[in-house]
Every structure is written in structure tokens, then in C-alpha cells.
Amino acid sequence: MTSPVPSTSTGFSRIQTDQDLADFRKSPGYLDFIGWIQRRCERVRGKRVDNWSEGCSEKIKSLLDLLSTLTRIMEETPAEHDPNQRFGNKSFRIFVKKVEEHLLSNPLQNGGLEDIAALNIDTAAKPNANADPSSLPSSSSLSSSSLLPHPESRSSFLPNAPELLRSTVLRIWLEGSAFGHSSRLDYGTGHELTFVLGLWVLVKGGYIGSGSEGEGEGEQRKQGEKGDLELEEDDLILRVFPKYLTLTNALQTKYKLEPAGSHGVWGLDDYVFLPYLFGSGQLLGVEGITPTKTLELAKSKEAVDDMWTMALRRLFEFKRGPFFEHSPLLHNLSTSFPNFNKIHSGLFKMYLEEVLNKRVVVQHLPIPNWVWEREAGR
């Protein structure tokens, strides 16, 4: 199989103007990405979140192991005690630094840091002179070759992936602050998007899913289940993404991360969007589960296995006061429709407009030109 990943870096660009955003939304990569999101919603219909690593490919297992390691790093990084802090515990910056060191040390097993250091943003994509310097991602950690390997980093990150693909995903996750912004001490839908973008790049690069060669347990699983070549991609949504949400939920609570770009009570959720989109996709056509029923389940102690109800339960645990007051949009969706058909289609349109079409959300994304099929320097 010929890898779609080029042998050398073709650079990164950023969205800085409304015209950049318009070009971005017409790019082949953007159209491919939203098509992939839509396809994933179709594929998870009637399926459950899977919290176990048994039965998945080694590539999926490596991503789950990575998130387990990051969870352990969080557990080993206590929050600074400051009763006067309402939002933004400064110890989150220590956590992010440890994560950077861990992720950047992993490629040492398969080649070193030079490929990451070489992935400089295009000189044509200069930062906005009027931008807040604290909001601009730092590339110092990416170009540092003096970082020592994490003691537990010998389990390779993205085993057997092309070095440029591995470096690209690292660049997206670290510079795009996939686990939260260390300067602003916040988390929002842009950070969530950054993580999922990295997952899609693994598919786009031919490493995971229908475009990959497959090997070992994962390949046997594909061939054994009616030749379904998308099972790994399903696992990205039903296994990897929920585990990422568990980690980021814990980060928000432990380090009191501020909601990034929240619309307050009139928004869908202070922190996330995709659990509702994927979760409503899971519940399409599921007999006996209505939007109102999910509200009852979210308030109960009963085990749930869809992202929609999990996200609602998180709100009941995290927020105070009546649900219709702190989450009026979700309350309206949950009490006004007999099933999830219109909810899901409406949320997909809302995601395109309120997340992917908002420059304030996507402007910090490091966009690799080879992924988006746009010319370097544009």
C-alpha cells in the first residue's frame, strides 16, 4: 500500500482572516473531515460506548494506553490549594508540561525529535500582530531536543506510523491544546475539535481504519466481521473519544478550567459539543429510549452506555440548580421531541455553524497542508 503521507513536511498554516476561514471551508480536507464526522454518526447508530480495550486493534489499544498514562500523570499532579481561585488552577500548567514531555519523548524510540522540530509553521502564516500573545501557542517545547524520555514512554506512541504522521498528530494536539490551554487555563469546543482532528488525521494518513493496511488482531477482527474495514474508525469514537472525555472532564474538575468561549446558559454546553452529536447518533432508532427518558437515566444511578446521557449526567453532577435554568437548550431538546431524529440533524447543522464556521474557535488549529491539500504558503 502506498502511504498518503508525504516523505517530507509541507508546512502548516493557520486561519487568521474571514477569507482564510472561507477558503478552509471549501478545501478538500474540510469537506472530507465533515463527511467523516457524519459517517461516524451513522456508524455508531445503535452501538454502545466500549470502555474496555479487549477486542480492539493494537493501534487503538496504543491510543487507549496513552490516555491512561495521561490520566495517571494528572493523578500525580496535585492541584494547588488556593481558596481564592474560582477558575484556573495554576497546577494545570505543570500537568500540560508533563504531557508535552511525555508525548515528545515517545518518538525517541523510533527516530528522534528532528522531524517534529522541522514542522515549522509556514512563514507566510504569520501570527496576527494584534493577537493576545498569551493565546498564541508556543513552539519552544516542540523544537526542544533536550527533553528526557518519560520513564514509561517506551511503549511507542502510534507504533509503526510514518514519522511525519506521528509528528503531525503531536503538533496538532500540543499546539492546538487538545487537553486545555495552559496559558488561559480553559477548555472548550476548539480543544475538543483539536483532539478529534488528530484522530481523523490518523485515518487520513492511512494509519487507522479503512485506509490502513491492518495487522495482527485488528486485521483478523476486520476480516472476521464481514470484511468491515471501518471498525477501527468506529473504535476511535466508541472507545478512544469517550476515554478522552473522561480525562478532560476530570481535568476541568480538578484544575477548575474555565469554559472557553462559553455562551452561558444559552449555549449547548460550557465545554463540549461532540458527545451530544455522537450520542444522539447512537440513540437514533433505539427502541424504548426517548429524549425524556435520557433525562431520567442521567439523574439516576443506572449504568448508561451512550455519550448523550453521559454528557447530561455530567451536567447534573457539575452544575447546581434546576436543569431547565442552567441548560435551557438541552432541556428543550430533551422534552420537546419524541425521538432523536430532528435533534441529531439539528445538532449536526449547529456544529458546522457554531464550531467549524467560527473563526474564534478554529483560528488556533495548526492546519497541516498535506492533510488539507492546500498549497504551502497560502
Question: pLDDT tens digits for 104-150?
Answer: 875 433 333 334 333 332 323 333 333 333 332 333 333 322 222 33
Taking only the tens place, the pLDDT of each residue in 58-78 is: 999 999 999 999 999 999 999
Give the whole-angstrom CA distance, residue 168 versus residue 207.
13
Segment 346-363 shows an average pLDDT of 94
The answer to whether residue 307 sits within a structural domain is no
CB-CB contact of 40 with 31 (8 Å): no
Q: HSE of 218 in the Cβ direction (CA atoms, 13 Å)?
A: 24
At position 209, the amino acid (one-letter code) is G
Q: What is the pLDDT of residue 149?
A: 31
Closest by CA position to 194, among listed 238, 129, 248? 248
CB-CB contact of 197 with 364 (8 Å): no
Give the whole-angstrom CA distance, residue 220 versus residue 240.
20
The answer to whether residue 353 sits within a structural domain is no
At position 36, the amino acid (one-letter code) is W
Q: Please give the mean pLDDT across all residues of the chain.
A: 81
How sure is the predictor about 10, in pLDDT bands with cuts at 50, 70 and 90? low
Q: What is the pLDDT of residue 130?
A: 37
The answer to whether residue 6 sits within a structural domain is no
Give the whole-angstrom CA distance, residue 375 versus residue 34.
21
Give the whole-angstrom CA distance, residue 177 versus residue 195.
8
The three-class DSSP label of residue 187 is strand
The total domain count for the chain is: 1
Domain range for 141 is 12-261+361-372
The answer to whether residue 3 sits within a structural domain is no
How sure is the predictor about 95, in pLDDT bands with cuts at 50, 70 and 90? very high
User: Who contacts 67 (Cβ-Cβ below 8 Å, separation ≥6)?
Assistant: 240, 243, 244, 247
- Beta carbons within 10 angstroms of residue 296's beta carbon: 12
Q: What is the dihedral of CA 296, 318, 65, 306, to 10 degrees?
A: 20
Q: What is the pLDDT of residue 176?
A: 94
The answer to whether residue 250 sits within a structural domain is yes
The answer to whether residue 298 sits within a structural domain is no
The answer to whether residue 83 sits within a structural domain is yes
The answer to whether residue 347 sits within a structural domain is no
The three-class DSSP label of residue 150 is coil
C-alpha cell at 285: 432508532
